[in-house]
Homo-oligomer: A and B are copies of this chain.
Amino acid sequence: MADESQYELDEETLFLVSQTFKALSDPTRIRILHLLFEEELSVNKIAETLDLNQSNVSHQLRFLKNLRLVKYRRDGKTIYYSQDDEHVMKILQQSIDHATHH
């Protein structure tokens, strides 16, 4: 892979990269994604587990969904969310490990 650090970053790249890291810059979203390391979960289950407002969870999930970091499937009245970006989840996992062991 060519070294590209000598070039100015174009706006599209800057926006995409910054948005992705913004998703990971909020404790609530980190907690939600951390839960989704393991398994798919419903909105209510996430809200209960993390002791968060249902509306808050829904808003954050929309944010993550727009960035395609999570996906969902409906089963009756319940909507199950799960992770949808291996690369980002791996980065998050690594960073949590890094922070935990220091």
A interface, CB within 8 angstroms of B: 1, 4-6, 8-9, 13-22, 24-27, 30-31, 34-35, 37-38, 87, 91-100
Contact B13–A99 (Cβ < 8 Å): yes
B98 and A87: CB pair below 8 A? yes
Are A96 and B38 also in contact (CB < 8 A) when A22-B25, A30-B9, A91-B91 are? no
Given A5-B37, A5-B93, A20-B99, output 14 extra A-B contacts at Cβ < 8 Å. Answer: A5-B35, A5-B38, A8-B31, A9-B30, A9-B34, A13-B100, A14-B27, A17-B24, A18-B24, A18-B25, A20-B95, A21-B22, A87-B94, A91-B95
> A57 CB to closest chain B CB, in angstroms?
16
